[in-house]
Structure 1
Amino acid sequence: MRIVHIINSLESGGAEKLVLDTLPLYNKKSVKVDLLVLNGVDYPFMKALKASGCCSIFSLGFRSRYNPIHIFKIIPFLKNYDVAHVHLFPAQYWVVLAKLVSGSKIKLVYTEHSTSSRRVRSRIFKSIDPFFYKQYQKIVCITETVGDVVKKHTGLTDSNIEVINNGVPIDTFKNSIPRDRFDFFPNANSNLKIIIQVSSFKEPKDQATLIRAMSYLSSDVKLLLVGEGLLQQQCKELAKELNVDDRVLFLGIRMDVPELFKMADIVVLSSNYEGFSLASIEGMASGKPLIASNVDCLTTIVKDAGILFKPGDAKELSSYIDKLCTNNIYYQDVANRCQQRAEQYDIKFMVDQHIELYTGLYNL
């Protein structure tokens, strides 16, 4: 059984991180899995996957992911595999069109990673998307909520959909060695508390609320923001406007996230919406208390373990951060519950379910 994962690129993001983490595990289980990217730019995730040596990596070049020439460049790869597992738009469309043009018999799987996108809100895509989704033998939805959104948007039924929760390599985060916190804040004193959020700087992630929360907190509380994106400069300007720029570090894309989580005191995810937050699981697996906005998929992960706050409410967020910083018993209780919750999302479970899905399609 030969499997190929197809994705736009290995730029930073949850779907891209999932590909990076899972491909080595498939091959350890003697399942041949390779990777095809529309854009082969050597992003840090790409470099890390190449360094692992776990699979063959193919690139269609460096054109825009939206270039329809990809349809014809994908066709030769379809004859070499039994199942193609596709992630993200527009790869989702190009693979379907490549199969239809070529007459390939390859089985197609698509993972829907989010409950909200421009396409869901677009009348044009509302009429087009159902056709493309129905060309896939299975749509993997990362939560029940995502599955409900897909069914409503496309008209698909339960028989077309497989709910498989995303997972993270729990042991990697649980057993990582923390970075030296004073490398980041050399002038801080022993009262230093470090907050961390790992997410791309896009509208759904709402780092602005967390930056505003910093203005209500003690000067001993510092913030690390890991990730890149279009809103990064805007967030830097906000930090300066609020006079907290000396307490907020923008670290860009990092490959030492497990060590950073282990170093931090509190993990925050202030998103307006999420598909399935890998970063929330990673933070909890590190043994840290998680504060997350009370939105659909985060609520599913965090409720009765971490702390939930009203989306966009910087004051409420700051009050929870302050309570964790000043009440050690409360801190340890939340941290312990988060660690236990993370164990339910070990990536090994997800990989086993994917292999079972591939095997079922292969044997059809």
Structure 2
Amino acid sequence: MVAGMAELRTSDGHTGRRSAGHGRPPAAAIPAGPARVCLLIGQLGLGGTEKQVVLLAQGLRARGIDAHVLLMFEGGPRESALRAAGVPVVHLGFASSAVGARMLPANAVAFARLVRHLRRLRPAVLHAFLFHSYVTAAPAARLAGVRVLVAGRRSLGDFKRGRHVMLAVERLATGMTDLLVANAEAVAEDTRRQEKVSSDKITTVYNGLPDSAFAPAAPAVIDTTAPVVLCIANLKPDKGHRFLIDAVARLRDQGLPTTLALVGGGPQRRALEEQAARLRVDVRFLGTRTDIEPLLARAQVVTLPSLHEGMSNAVMEAMAAGRPVVATDVGGTGELLRDRGVLVPPSDAAALAEGLGRVLRDPGLGDRLAARARAWSLRHLHVDAMVDRHVQIYRELLERRCAE
């Protein structure tokens, strides 16, 4: 028991980290935490989960916890931010594109490499994100003797329906996992319902936003005199862009022309360009962008027409920036926007047009919704709240292990 408790470290002297001026309540004392944590993820692209892993690793490091990020497949543009913060990044070399006979030996070698790294680093906690990572982390943690294993659940389980092998592997991994951490109550409830996970094995921690998300920004230049409707989402079918373009055409027909700015890339771009041309609406395809704050500052309203969603970073960032949001009531979006935005049903262009029109025609309504959303996000969505909650979870799980 004494040896186990040595894995806990008290982190102090950081309670002044939260910057003044954003209206957040005073920070509570940062709880004791593990000496070392490893975060496992597939890659470090520009997705929302990857961003949260970087923020968590940086926050752990700032609290005196030795955080390491382990990459299964490849790096990405977020890797430099980790290295700048002094967070070691380990490439494990799992094969994401190899097929057939080459896949198994390549991944067997990478799995052995993962186990060796865990044995060498001896982390108190291994926290895995997304499906491939957490099903790999479970046997690796067991073989390496890692005391606590946590798995992050970031989306609804729709993509697993009918995929019996995937479900079986996931359930096996869940049985070896100490706790699942969902990023929305909707995700947690979906996991409990579909996978029969008990309530005491899953908890919810909202995604976190850095100070820059709350800071004022100079508006980006978008050459138009019409109101700008901004959507930040990869151009994939489940993001519902086709309904959004239809909604913008309906607004134009109602005497309310807008400029729709779409941020993100993906396989639907050509089809959406053709739809916009056919309906003769002003749609700007801006591609992948990193200057999100200026784009938010330029928009009159932000929208997300997703058909399925876990917890949207794009909606969170719009709330933090004080922009009114009109979005479909799917996944965790309702948790974010209830009484703080306009929620409409998915796959309903008419309802989406009506919601956008309400905000565009009544700027006072948009201002009130935006103010409530920003105030709520300051209290609940700041990165410090996210990191502190994870440290608390790690500590409690380690204490439980020590007591066994």
Do they superpose with TM above 0.5?
A: yes
Q: Which residue of 1 aligns with 2:127?
A: 85
The separation in 1 between residues aligned to 2:200 and 2:351, in whole angstroms, is 42
Q: Which residue of 2 aligns with 1:177?
A: 217
User: Which structure has the larger Rg over C-alpha atoms?
Assistant: 2
The two structures have a TM-score, normalised by structure 1, of 0.89
Q: Which residue of 1 aligns with 2:87?
A: 55
Indicate which of 344, 348, 355 corresponds to 1:320: 355
CA contact (8 A) 1:39 1:65 kept: no
Unaligned runs of 5+ in 2: 1-34
The separation in 2 between residues aligned to 1:10 and 1:172, in whole angstroms, is 20
Change (3 A) 1:297 1:149: same
Deviation string, structure 1 residues 143-189 (Cα, Å, up to 9, x no partner): 232222222333321222222222222x32221313332xx32xx23
Alignment coverage as a number of residue pairs: 352
Task: Give the CA deviation at 1:56.
Answer: 0.9
CA contact (8 A) 1:120 1:153 kept: no
CA contact (8 A) 2:147 2:398 kept: no
Is 1:334 the equivalent of 2:374? no
Task: Give the CA deviation at 1:16.
Answer: 1.1
CA contact (8 A) 1:134 1:156 kept: no
The separation in 1 between residues aligned to 2:111 and 2:94, in whole angstroms, is 15
Q: Which residue of 1 aligns with 2:206?
A: 165
Change (3 A) 1:196 1:358: same
Between 308-317 and 216-225, the greater mean CA deviation after superposition: 216-225
Q: Which residue of 2 aligns with 1:128?
A: 169
The separation in 1 between residues aligned to 2:128 and 2:58, in whole angstroms, is 17
The separation in 2 between residues aligned to 1:359 and 1:13, in whole angstroms, is 28
Indicate which of 96, 105, 115 corresponds to 1:75: 115
Q: Which residue of 1 aligns with 2:235?
A: 201
Identity over aligned residues, as a percent? Answer: 24
CA contact (8 A) 1:8 1:65 kept: no
Q: Which residue of 2 aligns with 1:356?
A: 392
The two structures have a TM-score, normalised by structure 2, of 0.81
The separation in 1 between residues aligned to 2:300 and 2:268, in whole angstroms, is 25
Change (3 A) 1:120 1:226: same
| Residue identity opposite 1:173 in structure 2 | A
Task: Give the CA deviation at 1:320.
Answer: 2.3
The separation in 2 between residues aligned to 1:62 and 1:250, in whole angstroms, is 34
Is 1:293 the equivalent of 2:328? yes
Task: Give the CA deviation at 1:220.
Answer: 4.8
| Residue identity opposite 2:148 in structure 1 | K
Is 1:225 the equivalent of 2:266? no
CA contact (8 A) 1:140 1:164 kept: yes
| Residue identity opposite 1:241 in structure 2 | R
Deviation string, structure 1 residues 111-156 (Cα, Å, up to 9, x no partner): 1011133224423333332111111111112223222222233332
Is 1:22 the equivalent of 2:56? yes
CA-atom RMSD in angstroms = 2.2
Deviation string, structure 1 residues 307-355 (Cα, Å, up to 9, x no partner): 0112111122122222322222222222222222322222211110100
CA contact (8 A) 2:182 2:203 kept: yes
Task: Give the CA deviation at 1:99.
Answer: 3.2
Task: Give the CA deviation at 1:305.
Answer: 0.9
Q: Which residue of 2 aligns with 1:140?
A: 181
| Residue identity opposite 1:347 in structure 2 | V
Q: Which residue of 2 aligns with 1:46?
A: 79
Task: Give the CA deviation at 1:106.
Answer: 4.0
Partner of 2:332: helix, strand, or coil? Answer: helix
Q: Which residue of 2 aligns with 1:251?
A: 286
| Residue identity opposite 2:247 in structure 1 | A
Matches within 5 A, 1:84-123: 84-100=126-142, 102-123=143-164
| Residue identity opposite 1:227 in structure 2 | G
The separation in 1 between residues aligned to 2:231 and 2:117, in whole angstroms, is 38
Task: Give the CA deviation at 1:55.
Answer: 0.7
Deviation string, structure 1 residues 174-231 (Cα, Å, up to 9, x no partner): 21313332xx32xx23xx3111111222332112211221212347511221122232
The separation in 1 between residues aligned to 2:288 and 2:175, in whole angstroms, is 36
